[in-house]
Amino acid sequence: MTLLPWTRKPAVREIRPGASVFEDLALPLLPALYNVASWLSKNPTDAEDLVQETFLKALRGFESFEQGSNFKAWIFRILRNTYLTSRSGLAALRTVSLDEELAEQADSGPTLYPEGAIDRQTPEINLIRLTDRAALQRAMEQLPPLLLEVVLLCDVEEMKYKEIAAVLDIPIGTVMSRIARARASLRTLLDTDTGLKRGSLA
Amino acid sequence: MTEHLSSTEHLSSTVLNALVDGELAAEQAAAAKEHLDHCSACTSTALHQALLKTATAKAGQRYQVPSQLEQRLRRLASSQAVDAPDLHRNADTTPWSMRRFISPALAVAATLLIVAMSWFPIQRRMHTSELASAQQAALIGEISDLHIATLAANQPPEVISSDRHTVKPWFQGKIPFSFNLPDNLPSDTKLDGANLTYLHNRPVAQLLYSIGRHHVSVFVQENSGAREQHPLLAEHSGFHVSGFQTSDLEVIAVSDVDPVRLTGLVRIIEQAQTAH
């Protein structure tokens, strides 16, 4: 047999010397990623697609991940950006009301949010509602995506404002005003969540 | 948090939120506490905020990862671990039997694409090297995507053996050509088994090797002779492709092992073809 000459290049590059293994970082976050993905996409199929796509992107981009920096914020940012460009994400963003956008534009600092109206509701009703997990979940479902995600990252994922700002790529002041708006909306939604609706689910 | 706090003013919603979120600086937290000590309204609101946060945290934990998805992503993530063999070996929880076939599965996808592209008549219409290299770059990008996406196809080899005298005869009658397997492999390299696959209705032998913990697929096909010979060495996302041709055979190897060792194995296989 004849041997044909082949030009072979030397090693192009070594693969991430000293890098942490992707699986050690990513797999522990899978429950959190899937939970948030499910909340955002509102159906199991889209949530699975979203998480898988996030994993694929994270794997491909893992070389660009700065070792030692915040992996959780990094991968949640991928999840969030993937969601925004997904079918369910685009649909959700299209239905964000004009009020939301206007309120967003007014977010230039933490002190601009009007006081009183939202913070001084009668706590008694809400305290009872707060024990009603299903009612709270219904309220969360009704939050606009931009407010829901901030609640999920802050309360469920227990991220610091700084991390949330990194995930959402917004200033910390905007994080704070979104959290204020999200919690105010949750209270309002809880107050308007009627017993009739709850009864129909029972 | 730069907001000025006074013990006589009610706390703003931002401060209350930051309080329950643990985002107040020590000084601000102290000022807030001082106010709360003598303001029952703000204390009530703060308590309420804290309860809302706690309730939301619990209510938000709602969805369980489907086990099928978890398994799929576990395999996917562990494929990356193969890239960094010296680290975190103890933390590796994926069964070896499972990870063993991941790289070959990827390699199948990669090689099928590469081979399909280069054997396709369309390739011959590419006259400029620019076009060809752009095409190849795009192709390799696609392959990298497909690599990972193909991970779910996770099957053991049809013949499992490290003995070349078992593997080679297994192909008799299955492929219309013959090839030699090398006798002496480097100490960290071994033959895991082989598969029979098909490419454009033509049978292809897929030999599965391990180099250390890296897996290599070597595809052997009859040389159709209809194709211009061009060097095949590609690299993308840690996967390397290398190959050679003889007058009878076309051989292409794919792996995430470093290209020097991959090329080393390819050369050993190449030498085995001339030794007989």
- Averaged pLDDT, B116-121: 49
> Which chain B residue has the Cα nearest residue A34?
B65
Q: Does residue B144 have a pLDDT over 50?
A: no
- Averaged pLDDT, B87-108: 46
Q: Which span out of A32-41, A123-132, B48-57, B207-216 was modeled with the highest average pLDDT?
A: A32-41
Q: Do B69 and A21 touch (CB under 8 A)?
A: no
Q: Does residue A7 have a pLDDT over 80?
A: no
Q: How confident is the model at residue B224 (pLDDT cuts 50, 70, 90)?
A: low
What is the spatial distance between Cα A186 and Cα A146, in angstroms, rounded to a whole number? 13
Q: Do B259 and A12 touch (CB under 8 A)?
A: yes
**Is residue B250 exposed (0-12), middle (13-18) or buried (19+ Cβ within 10 Å)?**
buried
Nearest chain A CA: its distance from B240 CA (Å):
10
Which domains, from first to last, does chain B contain?
A: 13-60 (no CATH), 96-274 (3.30.200.100)
> Which chain A residue has the Cα nearest residue B56?
A155
Per-residue pLDDT tens over the stretch A12-63 = 334 444 345 788 899 999 999 999 999 999 989 999 999 999 999 998 888 8
Chain A interface includes B259 (CB < 8 A)? yes
Task: Tell me the CA distances in angstroms from B10 to A78, B42, B207, one per residue in order.
Answer: 39, 7, 74
Per-residue pLDDT tens over the stretch B150-186 = 444 566 777 778 888 888 888 887 788 888 888 888 8
Give the contacts of B129 (CB within 8 A, at least 6 positions apart).
none
- Averaged pLDDT, A133-161: 94
Contact A144, A100 (CB under 8 A): yes
Angle between helices B40-60 and B26-38 (to 10 degrees): 120
Q: Do A60 and B148 touch (CB under 8 A)?
A: yes
Task: Tell me the CA distances in angstroms from B68 to A35, A156, B71, B73, B152, one per residue in order.
Answer: 15, 24, 5, 9, 10
The residue of B5, B42, B73, B118 whose CB has the most chain A CBs within 10 angstroms, and thus the best one to mutate to test that interface, is B73
Beta-carbon contacts below 8 Å between A and B: 201
Cα A140 → chain centroid: 13
Nearest chain A CA: its distance from B194 CA (Å):
23
Nearest chain A CA: its distance from B189 CA (Å):
18
The residue of A155, A164, A172, A193 whose CB has the most chain B CBs within 10 angstroms, and thus the best one to mutate to test that interface, is A155
Q: Do B17 and A8 touch (CB under 8 A)?
A: no
Q: Do A179 and B17 touch (CB under 8 A)?
A: yes
Chain A interface includes B275 (CB < 8 A)? no
Q: Do A161 and B21 touch (CB under 8 A)?
A: yes
Q: Does residue B125 have a pLDDT over 50?
A: no
What is the spatial distance between Cα A111 and Cα B7, in angstroms, rounded to a whole number? 17
Q: In what order do the strands lie in the sheet with B159-160?
A: B159-160, B189-199, B202-211, B214-222, B249-255, B239-245, B233-236
Q: Do B58 and A184 touch (CB under 8 A)?
A: no
Q: What pLDDT was estimated at residue B137?
A: 53
What is the spatial distance between Cα A152 and Cα A116, in angstroms, rounded to a whole number? 25
Report the sign of the C-alpha dihedral through residues A117, A120, A122, A126, in that order: positive
Which domains, from first to last, does chain A contain?
A: 22-92 (1.10.1740.10), 99-201 (1.10.10.10)
Give the contacts of B65 (CB within 8 A, at least 6 positions apart).
A30, A31, A34, A51
Indicate the SS3 state at residue B208: strand
What tokens were used for A124? 């008694």
Q: What is the CA radius of gyration of chain A?
A: 22
Q: What pLDDT was estimated at residue B115?
A: 53
- Averaged pLDDT, A121-146: 78
| pLDDT, averaged across chain B | 72
Q: Do B66 and A22 touch (CB under 8 A)?
A: no
Is the pTM value of this prediction over 0.80?
no
What is the spatial distance between Cα B28 and Cα B20, in angstroms, rounded to a whole number? 13
Q: What pLDDT was estimated at residue A179?
A: 95
Chain A interface includes B196 (CB < 8 A)? no
Which B positions 100-119 lie with beta carbon below 8 A of chain A? none
